[in-house]
Amino acid sequence: MAVRSTAAPPTPWSRSLAEPQIHETSFVHSFSNLIGDVRIGANVIVAPGTTIRADEGTPFYLGENTNIQDGVVIHGLEQGRVIGDDQNQYSVWIGKNTCITHMALIHGPAYVGDNSFIGFRSTVFNARVGAGCIVMMHALIQDVEIPPGKYVPSGAIITNQQQADRLPDVQEQDEEFAHHVVGINQALRAGYRCAADSKCIAPIRDENTKSYTSNGVTVLELERSSEVSSNRLGAETIEQIRYLLEQGYKIGTEHVDQRRFRTGSWTSCQPIEPRSIGEAIAALESCLRDHSGEYVRLFGIDKGRRRVLETIIQRPDGTVGAPANFRAPATQSHHSYNGGGNGSSNGNGSGRISSETVDQIRQLLAGGYKIGTEHVDERRFRTGSWQSCEAINANSANDVVAALEDCINNHQGEYVRLIGIDTKAKRRVLESIIQRPNGQASPSGSQKSFVSTTATATATATSTRLSTEVVDQLRQLLAGGYKISVEHVDQRRFRTGSWTSTGPIEATSERAAIAALEANLAEYPGEYVRLIGIDSKAKRRVLETIIQRP
């Protein structure tokens, strides 16, 4: 294919007429556009529909083994440069072994380090993303420097350095996922180059021709026809089985009755060790027949004995089949199985634990944190004399939800709270009350308020007056010698954690601190407002508690 590339147009700031420089081992699709001084290293793939324009900001650099996927736009401002790894100035530098995925925007001045991943529709502008970072979908990174090895969740808006410095570290499964995507795109690059080379493609066509049987039907078609004959499994489930087998995963199945479904007490069916997709389908149908009227779920098992693509394929009402929106996911994360972790289509099969609490549990587990629970009666609540429930040594959302429900059931009429623990730093990253003495078994007025790096408590204010709980917490902070601050955020930015500080409260008495807090509540009506306790010696937060909600 002829590559659509042109020289940079003459402009008031540049008359160099520089042209793209593409390494001979790279593949640039003819339906992409390259303009100006774009330097592409070895083994790069540039997919259809991309636009890489070094006509204003220039030059651009794309490192070896990097993949630029469909719909990506790379451009740069005429003013502004970053320092590349070769110590030269660039408008855009993208390192080696990096993935810039579908519809992402990289706008210079911008630097993306080696072995990084930029997710679908995410934007990087006037920023540096360090080596080994994972940026998920629909994120905005602007005017900041992301330290190496950090994880940016989907939908995050990172526009100040404090937010960037608080980001969690990338986990091992995230690194494996990014490497997997690089490997897939390297295979695609080789495939595209082979398809355009008659000497390479001819033997493959001959081989495919020989695979036909004497009556003109291929072996693959025969196998597919046997799959379609299944009267129990839907096409989506069969596609999921095929995907798992092709990726080298083992296949497992589990079942549970309606009574045990809420506690996540699943039981394994017979192990599936298929030599073909037909055998896998037969084994799966056998499990469905043996456990009619129960929930049955399918999952894959990787080499690290971790579950992937956990999906309920039968329900007690007789519904059979995977969700109709299943697609073989080229960019499926290894911890995606948590989406059905407690056996419900909405991720919350528990009658006691709210969906918001389950979301917090998933985020803690995905971040590698340990989970604990504590309880306290109403009398001891004011003094903060919490006691631990039974230790939770679980790595699945199912088991953690069951343990939480046991704690709630054993301590009716008391406060119960969920704890997230960073074992490496030996500190708490989350405190969230999930039961109150009035029987409410979820955070009050809860929304997704998970904070990954600091302790969180929950309290509310019904007006511009502070609740008794907040006054008690304020009193404890002052007695402990901690500094006090306030932050606020509107509803749109609440989900991305983009809080804005109102500055420290310099109060010499409890009464003055209360007056300052109430003034902040009155100043930001209709927004979230939270109280911050700060250990100035250790330079860390000891408390974050929401005291007003919209």
Convert the pLDDT of each residue in 481-526 to its tens digit. Answer: 888 888 888 877 776 677 788 888 887 788 888 888 888 888 888 8
Other CB atoms closer than 10 Å to residue 79's CB: what's the count? 11
Residue 324 has pLDDT above 60, yes or no: no
Mean pLDDT of the chain: 78
Q: Which two tokens stand for residue 88?
A: 């030269």
- Min mean pLDDT across 16-30, 85-99, 329-343, 435-449 is at 329-343
Amino acid 229: pLDDT: 43
Identify the band that residue 442 occupies on the pLDDT scale cut at 50, 70 and 90.
very low
Amino acid 100: pLDDT: 96
Q: Which two tokens stand for residue 338?
A: 């948590």
> DSSP code of 536?
T
Highest mean pLDDT among 24-33, 121-130, 533-542: 121-130
Using alpha carbons only, what angle is made at residue 257 by residues 251 and 263, rounded to the nearest 5 degrees? 90
Residue-range domains of the chain with CATH: 5-177 (2.160.10.10), 226-340 (3.30.190.10), 352-454 (3.30.190.10), 459-550 (3.30.190.10)
CB of 102 closer than 8 Å to CB of 70: yes
Residue 341 has pLDDT above 50, yes or no: no
**How do residues 266-285 score in pLDDT, each as one tens digit?**
888 877 877 777 788 888 88
Q: Which residue has the tokens 């506690």?
A: 263
Residue-wise DSSP of 318-345: S-BSS-TT----TT--GGGGGGGTTS-T
Q: Where are the beta strands (DSSP E) in 217-354?
A: 250-256, 267-268, 295-301, 307-314
DSSP β-ladder status, 123-129 and 140-142 = parallel
Amino acid 45: pLDDT: 93
> DSSP code of 353?
S
Catalytic: 506? Answer: no
The stretch 103-116 carries a mean pLDDT of 96
Amino acid 319: pLDDT: 67
287-291's contacts with Cβ under 8 Å and 24+ in sequence apart are 287/253, 287/255, 288/232, 288/233, 288/313, 288/314, 288/320, 289/232, 290/255, 291/255
Q: What is the largest CA-CA distance in the chain?
A: 93
Amino acid 210: pLDDT: 60
> DSSP code of 385?
-
Residue 449 has pLDDT above 70, yes or no: no
488-493's contacts with Cβ under 8 Å and 24+ in sequence apart are 488/520, 488/524, 488/527, 488/528, 488/529, 488/530, 489/527, 489/528, 490/526, 490/527, 490/528, 490/550, 491/527, 491/528, 491/550, 493/157
CB of 385 closer than 8 Å to CB of 329: no
Rounded CA-CA distance 99/333 in Å is 14
pLDDT > 70 in the chain, percent: 81
What is the number of residues in the chain?
A: 550
The stretch 52-74 carries a mean pLDDT of 94
Q: Which distant-in-sequence residues (6+ apart) come within 8 Å of 35 by Cβ? A: 5, 6, 7, 8, 9, 20, 52, 53, 54, 55
Q: Which two tokens stand for residue 473?
A: 């917490």
Q: Considering only CA atoms, which of 477, 487, 458 is closest in space to residue 546? A: 458
- Ramachandran sector of residue 373 (left: φ over 0; alpha: ψ -120 to 50; beta: rest): beta
Identify the band that residue 469 occupies on the pLDDT scale cut at 50, 70 and 90.
confident
**How do residues 366-388 score in pLDDT, each as one tens digit?**
777 888 898 888 777 766 678 88
Phi, psi at residue 225, to the nearest 5°?
-65, -35
Active-site entry in 56, 294, 374, 405: 56
